[in-house]
Amino acid sequence: VYLAKVTPFARRSVYLPPCPDTSPTLVGLVMSNQSEQVPTLLEERFSFLKPGGDYHPPDCTAQQRTAIIIPYRDRWIHLHILLYNLIPFLVRQQASFTIFVIELALPTTFNRALLLNVGVLESLKRDNYTCFIFHDVDLIPLDDHNLYRCGSSPRHLAVGINKFRYRLPYGTYFGGASALSRDQVFRINGNSNLYFGWGGEDDDSFYRTRRANMTVVRYPVQLARYDMIRHAPDKGNEVNPKTCV
Ligand code: UDH
């Protein structure tokens, strides 16, 4: 499940001041790099990550411990392209993060929301994560002002995706990437485990937040922009006939 061999999370003993609200290393909008060469570059480029894929900013203490949860099966090149783009994005945001790739074995029909739940429960066995980012493997965030942090309301992050001409496809869309604090995840009792196949699970999660008297918030579409890596429909993830979207 983890990116690299898991070793116990070593806590730092030196005092570091809290990281500022606005990281000084943000650069704004960048183009996604979707080169097929990316897999060969990952290990060398990100050798600064700790065993298990942990990262902490070197000169300040992040206010949140963030678990990036990626539901995954058979998207090897997408995973490498995502990591190549996402890791520097999070580093520029001075996030303290661990990336969890939650892989479903064949032949079970894919179940994205169930994998997100597994990611929450497994990650909490490892460390006291306070913020969960649920992240599709094929979505590359383009602007690092799209802060991967948790706030007082659940946040839908993937507002403008190239596939939808960088516009929200519909008002209650909650798929692609979202940020929920640990308290918010437990308040909605996680995501539904019942959606096998493509579609519907994200809408269910949206209505769970409403039922828990929370409002989904979003950054402006100008900065919450993503490139989706083009892909054909996956085997084992056929459209769920019971979903209406
Ligand atoms: N995934 C895999 N392997 C699979 C199937 C899905 O890894 O075989 C994961 C992956 O993280 C992917 C995510 O599940 O990014 C979502 O599946 P998808 O990429 O097929 O979904 P799609 O790109 O979703 O079609 C974008 C539109 C959502 C429409 C709203 C529905 N409510």
* pLDDT-derived band at 51, boundaries 50, 70, 90: confident
Q: Does residue 72's CB lie within 6 angstroms of at least one atom of ligand 1?
A: yes
CB neighbour list of residue 39: distance below 8 Å, 6 or more residues apart: 76, 77, 80
Cβ of 161 less than 6 Å from ligand 1 = no
Whether pLDDT at 209 is above 80 = yes
Q: What is the pLDDT of residues 146-196, one digit of tens each?
A: 999 999 999 999 999 999 999 999 999 999 999 999 999 999 999 999 999
pLDDT value at 73 more than 70: yes
Q: What are phi and psi of 159, to 5 degrees?
A: -80, -50
- Which ligand 1 atom sits nearest the alpha carbon of residue 161? 26
Is 206 a pocket residue for ligand 1 (Cβ < 6 Å)? no
Q: Which one is predicted more confidently, 130 or 243?
A: 130
Residues 6+ positions from 183 with CB-CB distance below 8 Å: none
Whole-structure pTM value: 0.94
Give the Å distance between the CA of 197 and the centre of ligand 1: 9
When computed from its CA atoms, the radius of gyration of the chain, rounded to whole angstroms, is 17
Whether 95 shows a pLDDT value over 60: the answer reads: yes
The ipTM value here is: 0.97
pLDDT digits (tens, 9 = 90+) for 13-49: 789 999 999 999 999 999 999 998 998 999 899 999 9
Average pLDDT over residues 132-157: 98
Instruction: Report phi then psi at 176, rounded to 5.
Output: 85, -70
pLDDT at 2: 42
| Closest ligand 1 atom number to CA of residue 110 | 5
Tell me the three state secondary structure of residue 223: coil
Question: Of the candidates 135, 137, 4, which has an alpha carbon nearest to the alpha carbon of residue 69?
Answer: 135
Atom of ligand 1 nearest to the CA of 202: 32
138 C-beta closer than 6 A to ligand 1: yes
Span from the CA of 195 to the centroid of ligand 1 (angstroms):
13
Q: H helices of the chain, where?
A: 38-45, 76-92, 112-126, 182-187, 201-211
pLDDT tens per residue, range 218-230: 999 999 999 999 9
> Residue 223: how many CB atoms within 10 A of its CB?
17
Closest CA to 137 of 181, 79, 93, 84: 79
What pLDDT was estimated at residue 11?
A: 55
